[in-house]
C-alpha cells in the first residue's frame, strides 16, 4: 500500500509536532479581527490559477483534503476552489495570497446547504467563525466529528481497543485455511455468485471466470467444477449439478428462457459463496473454493442472524424514492437484507461496544463504522481481476446509485491487516491521516514546468470549537455552529453574516437524501443520541416536478435564498456558489429562485471542476467546469450590464458555463415572468419552444 501522496517526502507529524502546530496557530498566528472588507471578487478572480489546482485535485479530492472525507457524501467540490473564493474576501491584500495563512478572523461565514462541509473546513482554516446548516443529519454529524479537535493519541488508543474487542468476538467467523499448509488465517474477502433460474433449474451467474490477472498467469474458477486454479492447470474434480455461468449468458441453451433473479428470496440469500481470498504468512495470497469449515462458519453466522435485535423492523423499511426505488424493483424491502449474516453480526457488535465510549471518540468511531458499510455490503462488487487493482472492491455507491452485482464481494471488516475497505485501513485513511493533515495543512504549488511542490500553511488548523448559539459564535475564534433543520428558517439574526458560500444540490441527478438512508438507518443505532436521525425528505432541494411546471427544487431554493438575503449583511454581504447543469430547466429553476429572493449577479467565473467521466452526469456527457457565481442583493453592489445571447453553445463545457452565467445575469435584471424565463432557457440551450 503506497503512502499518502501529500506526505511524499515529508515525514509524518508526531503528536508532539501536532501539539506545537496547534499552539502556534492559537498563540501566534491569530490576528485581531479586521474591521475592513474586501470585495475583490466583484471585479476579479484568479481563474487560471484555480483551474490548474482543481485539475490536480479533482481526481483525488480525498487525498487533497483528507479531514473532510471521514464519511461518504456525494458531489463534493474542490477544496482549493473554495479556499480561493474565500481568500478574495480577506481584507489584508498581503494575506489574500492563496498560500498565506488565515485572513478571515472575525468574519462570519454561512453555508446553508453544507453537504460535505467544504465551505466550513476552508473558512475555519482561514480563521473565520462558521455556520453550517443542512436538513440531512449526516452532514451535521460528519462536520462535528471532523471539526471538533481531539487528541489523535486518544483516538488511536480507543480505536485499537474497539477493534480488538470486535476481533475477539467475531474474528473466527471471517477465517479460512491455507490450502497448502492448512493454517487458519484471516480471510480478506469472500466472493459470491448470483443465483438465477430458468425452466430447467438454477444456475449461478458471475461477472467472468477470471478472478485475477497476474504477470505470468491467470487465476480462474472453472465453470463445471467451481474449482479454482491458474489457467494452465485445470483441476480434476467432479462436475457440480448447478452450472456456473457468466453475465454474458442471458438465456438457457436448453429451454431458451432468460435467467431470472430469485426475487422471492431475501437479497443476501440470492448469493452463494464461490471463492475465498486470504493471505498466508508462509505461502502468500491465495484463492480457494469454500471448504467444509468455511461453509460451517457461514452457517453459524446465519443461525445468529435471526436472534439479532436492531429495533423495530419498520425502521429499516425501504420507501420508494428516486434511487431507493431501484431496491424495490429488485424486491429489496429492508435495508437489513443487503447485508450478509456476518456483516450484520459485525454491525450488532459495533453498536453494543459503542455504548462504552463517549464524546469525540464515540462520534468518530461511530462515523467510521458507518463509513465502512460502503465497502461491507452485498451490494459491493468485485473488480480485483485487473493487474493493477488486485482485490479492489466496487463499493456500494461507485455509480452514485444502487447497482446489483453478479459477483458480490463480502469483505472482512475486521481483518487485522490493512486491506481495501476494512476498519484498519479506513482508520488510517479517514481519521489518522485526516487528523494529521488538519493541524498541518498542506497545499500544492504548481510550477512553470507543470510539476507541483508541497507547501505547508503554518498556523492554520482545520478545526475549532463548537458553539450552539450566535452569541457564543461571535465571541470566540474559529468557532462553528451546526444547525440541523430547514434552511428556509434559520435561527440567525438579520444582517449578521458577512459571507455565504455554498454549493446547491445538483437539481435532479444526485438524490443525496434518498441515497443517504443507506447510512442513516445504521447511524441512528450507532450514535442514537447524537442528533435526530429522521426528517421529511420532501423538504430537500431536488427536482420533483409539479403540475405548474415548477419543482420542489425551485420552491425550496427560493425559500433558502430568501433567508440568505435576510441574514446577509447589507452593502458588503455577498453570496457565492458554484453551479453547472446541461438541463435548461435546472438553470430556469435557479433563476426563478434567485429572482424571487431579490439577488442579482455581480460577476461570474469558470473553473475546471469535474472528472471527465463523472458518474453523476447522465449519459456520461460530463460538464467539466463550474460557474462561480457572485451575488448581491438588489440594492447592494456595483451596477452590472449583462449581454443578451441568441443561443448557448453546448459543444464546449467551459463556453457553455460562461454563456449560462451571462444569461443568468441578464435574466435576473430582466422583468420576465417565471414562465418566460423557462421558455427562454429552453430556447437558448436546446432550441426548444
611 versus 573: which is more confidently predicted?
A: 573
Provide the 3-class DSSP secondary structure of residue 287. Answer: strand
pLDDT, residue 551, reads 54
Owning domain of residue 550:
5-148+433-642+663-669
Domain closes at, from 393, 421, 449: 421
pLDDT at residue number 36? 84
Is residue 650 within 8 A of residue 682, CB to CB? The reply is: no
pLDDT of amino acid 305: 97
Q: Do 473 and 502 sit in the same domain of this protein?
A: yes
Q: What pLDDT sits at residue 505? A: 80
DSSP H helical segments within 511-645, as ranges? 512-526, 552-567, 584-597
Q: How many angstroms separate the CA atoms of 130 and 135, rounded?
A: 17
High-pLDDT (> 90) share of the chain, %:
79
pLDDT in tens, 312-322: 999 999 999 88
Q: Which pLDDT score, from 0 to 100, does residue 617 have?
A: 42
Residues 232 and 178 in one domain: yes
Mean pLDDT over 593-619 rounds to: 80
Q: What is the pLDDT of residue 17?
A: 53
Residues 104 and 191 both lie in one domain:
no
Share of the chain above pLDDT 70, in %: 89
Average pLDDT, whole number, for the chain?
Answer: 90
Taking only the tens place, the pLDDT of each residue in 80-128 is 999 999 999 999 999 999 999 999 999 999 999 999 999 999 999 999 9
Assign residue 103 the CATH number of its domain: 3.40.50.150
Each residue's pLDDT tens digit, 502-511: 999 865 545 6
Secondary element (H or E) of residue 426: helix 423-426
Residue 513 has pLDDT above 50, yes or no: yes
pLDDT at residue 108 in the model: 97
β-pair partners for 453:
445
Under the banding of pLDDT at 50, 70 and 90, the label for residue 248 is very high
pLDDT at 4 over 90: no
pLDDT of residue 508: 57
Give DSSP secondary structure letters for 570-608: TTT-EEEEEE--S-HHHHHHHHHHHHHHTEEEEEEEEEE
CA–CA distance, 273 with 189 (Å, rounded to integer): 10
Q: Running DSSP on this structure, what letter comes out for residue 14? A: P
Asked whether the predicted pLDDT for residue 70 surpasses 50, the reply is yes
| Secondary structure, 3-state, 163-228 | HHHHHHHHHHHHEEECCCCCCEEEEEEEEEEEEEEECCEEEEEECCCEEEECCCCEEEECCCCCCE
Q: 628-640, pLDDT tens digit by residue? A: 999 999 888 888 9
Q: How many CB atoms lie within 10 A of CB 496?
A: 17
How far, in Å, CA of 587 to CA of 579, rounded?
9
Domain check: are 574 and 637 in the same one?
A: yes
| Per-residue pLDDT, 75 | 81
157 band by pLDDT with thresholds 50, 70 and 90: very high
Q: What distance in Å separates the CA atoms of residue 573 and residue 492, rounded to the nearest whole number?
A: 15
pLDDT mean over 371-381: 97
Any idea what DSSP says for residue 115?
Answer: T
Residue-wise pLDDT for 116-150, tens only, equals: 999 999 999 999 999 999 999 999 999 999 999 99
pLDDT of residue 299: 98
pLDDT of 613 over the 70 cut = no
What total number of domains does the chain contain?
2
Which own/partner contact pairs does 671-677 have at CB distance under 8 Å and 24+ positions apart?
674/550, 674/592, 675/549, 677/588, 677/591, 677/592, 677/595
Domain boundary among 421, 452, 468: 421
Is-contact 490 562, C-beta < 8 A? Answer: no
pLDDT in tens, 442-499: 999 999 898 999 999 999 999 999 999 999 999 888 999 999 999 999 999 999 999 9
Confidence class for position 610, pLDDT limits 50, 70, 90: confident
pLDDT at 476: 85
What average pLDDT does this structure show over 38-50? 96
Distances (CA, A) of 507 to 371, 561, 581: 25, 15, 8
- Let me know whether 140 and 272 are in one domain: no
Q: Are residues 132 and 244 in the same domain?
A: no
The pLDDT of residue 537: 64
Q: Is 142 among the domain residues? A: yes
Domain check: are 445 and 509 in the same one?
A: yes
SS3 of 331-399: the string is CCCEHHHHCCHHHHHHHHHHHHHHCCCCHHHHHHHHHHHHHHHHHCCCCCEECCCCCCCCCCEECCCCC
pLDDT for position 266 = 98
**In this model, does residue 370 exceed pLDDT 80?**
yes
Which pLDDT score, from 0 to 100, does residue 31 have?
Answer: 55
259: cell is 435467467
- Cell numbers at 318, concatenated: 425501504
Query: Is 361 part of a structural domain of the chain?
Result: yes
Residue 675 maps to a domain:
no
* Within a domain: 229: yes
Q: Is 573 left (phi over 0), alpha (psi -120 to 50) or beta?
A: beta
Residue 649 belongs to some domain of the structure: no
C-alpha to C-alpha distance for 422 and 429, rounded to whole angstroms: 11
Q: Same structural domain for residues 504 and 538?
A: yes
In whole angstroms, give the CA distance from residue 220 to residue 228. Answer: 6
List the beta bridge partners of residue 244.
204
φ/ψ region of 9 (left if φ > 0, alpha if ψ in -120 to 50, else beta) reads left
In whole angstroms, give the CA distance from residue 506 to residue 214: 41
Determine, yes or no, domain membership for 90. Answer: yes
In a domain, 651, yes or no: no
What number of other Cβ atoms are within 10 A of residue 32's Cβ? 7
Record the cell numbers describing residue 488, joined without a space.
428556509
Which H or E element spans position 40? none
Residues 375 and 455 in one domain: no
Q: Do residues 405 and 206 touch, judged by C-beta distance below 8 A?
A: no
Note whether 440 and 456 are within 8 A (CB).
yes
Q: Which pLDDT band, with edges at 50, 70 and 90, does 170 fall under? A: very high
What three-state secondary structure class fits 326? helix
Residue 424 pLDDT exceeds 90: yes
pLDDT, tens digit, 9 for 90 and up, residues 321-367? 889 999 999 999 999 999 999 999 999 999 999 999 999 999 999 99
Residue with cell string 492448512: 182
Instruction: Identify the domain boundary among 421, 441, 463.
Output: 421
Whether residue 687 is contained in a domain is answered as no
- Judge whether residue 520 has pLDDT over 90: yes
SS (H, E, C) 240-268: CCCEEEECCCCECCCCCCECEECCCCCHH
- The answer to whether residues 238 and 127 belong to one domain is no
**How far apart are the C-alpha atoms of 388 and 391, rounded to whole Å?**
10
pLDDT at 239 over 90: yes
Q: How would residue 538 be classed by pLDDT, with cut points 50, 70 and 90?
A: low
pLDDT score, position 400: 84
The reply to whether 344 and 448 lie within a common domain is: no
Q: Do 406 and 488 fall into the same domain? A: no
And the C-alpha cell for 555? 420552491
Cβ(463)–Cβ(128) below 8 Å: no
Average pLDDT over residues 185-201: 97
Amino acid at each position: 500500500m503506497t503512502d499518502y501522496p501529500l506526505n511524499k517526502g515529508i515525514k509524518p507529524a508526531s503528536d508532539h509536532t501536532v501539539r506545537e502546530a496547534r499552539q502556534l496557530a492559537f498563540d501566534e498566528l491569530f490576528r485581531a479581527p479586521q474591521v475592513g472588507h474586501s470585495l475583490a471578487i466583484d471585479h476579479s478572480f484568479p481563474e487560471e490559477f484555480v483551474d490548474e489546482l482543481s485539475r490536480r485535485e479533482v481526481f483525488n479530492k480525498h487525498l487533497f483534503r483528507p479531514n473532510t472525507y471521514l464519511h461518504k457524501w456525494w458531489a463534493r467540490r474542490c477544496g482549493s476552489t473554495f479556499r480561493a473564493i474565500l481568500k478574495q474576501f480577506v481584507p489584508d491584500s498581503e494575506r489574500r495570497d492563496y498560500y498565506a495563512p488565515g485572513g478571515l478572523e472575525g468574519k462570519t461565514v454561512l453555508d446553508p446547504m453544507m453537504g460535505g462541509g467544504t465551505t466550513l473546513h476552508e473558512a475555519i482554516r482561514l480563521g473565520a467563525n462558521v455556520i453550517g446548516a443542512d436538513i440531512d443529519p449526516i452532514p451535521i454529524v460528519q462536520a462535528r466529528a471532523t471539526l471538533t479537535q481531539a487528541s489523535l493519541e486518544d483516538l488511536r488508543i480507543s480505536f485499537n481497543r474497539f477493534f480488538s474487542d470486535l476481533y475477539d468476538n467475531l474474528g473466527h467467523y471471517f477465517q479460512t485455511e491455507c490450502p497448502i499448509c492448512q493454517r487458519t488465517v484471516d480471510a480478506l474477502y469472500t466472493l459470491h455468485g448470483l443465483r438465477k433460474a430458468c425452466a430447467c433449474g438454477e444456475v449461478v451467474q458471475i461477472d467472468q471466470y477470471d478472478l485475477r490477472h497476474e504477470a505470468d498467469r491467470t487465476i480462474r474458477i472453472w465453470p463445471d467444477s467451481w474449482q479454482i486454479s491458474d489457467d494452465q492447470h485445470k483441476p480434476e474434480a467432479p462436475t457440480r449439478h448447478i452450472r456456473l455461468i457468466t453475465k454474458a449468458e442471458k438465456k438457457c441453451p436448453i429451454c431458451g428462457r432468460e435467467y431470472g433473479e430469485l426475487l422471492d428470496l431475501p437479497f443476501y440469500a440470492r448469493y452463494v459463496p464461490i471463492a475465498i481470498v486470504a493471505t498466508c504468512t508462509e505461502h502468500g495470497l491465495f484463492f480457494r473454493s469454500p471448504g467444509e469449515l468455511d461453509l460451517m462458519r457461514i452457517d453459524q453466522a446465519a443461525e445468529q442472524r435471526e436472534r439479532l435485535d436492531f429495533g423495530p423492523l419498520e425502521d429499516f423499511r425501504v420507501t420508494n424514492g428516486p434511487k431507493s426505488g431501484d431496491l424495490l424493483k429488485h424486491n429489496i424491502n429492508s435495508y437489513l437484507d443487503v447485508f450478509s449474516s456476518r456483516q450484520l453480526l459485525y454491525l450488532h457488535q459495533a453498536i453494543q461496544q459503542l455504548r462504552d465510549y463517549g464524546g469525540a471518540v464515540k462520534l468518530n468511531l461511530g462515523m467510521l463504522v458507518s463509513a465502512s458499510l460502503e465497502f461491507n455490503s452485498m451490494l459491493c462488487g468485485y473488480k480485483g481481476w485487473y493487474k493493477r487493482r488486485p482485490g479492489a472492491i466496487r463499493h456500494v455507491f461507485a455509480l452514485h446509485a444502487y447497482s446489483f452485482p453478479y459477483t458480490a464481494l463480502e469483505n472482512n471488516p475486521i481483518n487485522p491487516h490493512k486491506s481495501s475497505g476494512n476498519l484498519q485501513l479506513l482508520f488510517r485513511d479517514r481519521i489518522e491521516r485526516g487528523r494529521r493533515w488538519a493541524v498541518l495543512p498542506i497545499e500544492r504549488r504548481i510550477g512553470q514546468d507543470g510539476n507541483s511542490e508541497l507547501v505547508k500553511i503554518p498556523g492554520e488548523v482545520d478545526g475549532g470549537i463548537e458553539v450552539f448559539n450566535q452569541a457564543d459564535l461571535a465571541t470566540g475564534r474559529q468557532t462553528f455552529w451546526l444547525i440541523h433543520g430547514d434552511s428556509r428558517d434559520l435561527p440567525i439574526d438579520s444582517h449578521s453574516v458577512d459571507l455565504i458560500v455554498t454549493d446547491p444540490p445538483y437539481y435532479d441527478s444526485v438524490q443525496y437524501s434518498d441515497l443517504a438512508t443507506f447510512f442513516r438507518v445504521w447511524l441512528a443505532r450507532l450514535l442514537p443520541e447524537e442528533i435526530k436521525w429522521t426528517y421529511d425528505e420532501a423538504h430537500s432541494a431536488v427536482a420533483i416536478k409539479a403540475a405548474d411546471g415548477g419543482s420542489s427544487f425551485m420552491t425550496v431554493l427560493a425559500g433558502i435564498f430568501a433567508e440568505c438575503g435576510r441574514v446577509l449583511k447589507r452593502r458588503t454581504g455577498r453570496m457565492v456558489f458554484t453551479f453547472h447543469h446541461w438541463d435548461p430547466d435546472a438553470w430556469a429553476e435557479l433563476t426563478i429562485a434567485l429572482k424571487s429572493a431579490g439577488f442579482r449577479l455581480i460577476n461570474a467565473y469558470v473553473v475546471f471542476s469535474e472528472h471527465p467521466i463523472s458518474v453523476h452526469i447522465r449519459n456520461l456527457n460530463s460538464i467539466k467546469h463550474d460557474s462561480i457565481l457572485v451575488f448581491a442583493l438588489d440594492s447592494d453592489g456595483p451596477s452590472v450590464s449583462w449581454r443578451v445571447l441568441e443561443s448557448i453553445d453546448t459543444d464546449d463545457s467551459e463556453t457553455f458555463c460562461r454563456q449560462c452565467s451571462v444569461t443568468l445575469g441578464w435574466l435576473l435584471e430582466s422583468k420576465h415572468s417565471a414562465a418566460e424565463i423557462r421558455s427562454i432557457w429552453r430556447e437558448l440551450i436546446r432550441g426548444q419552444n
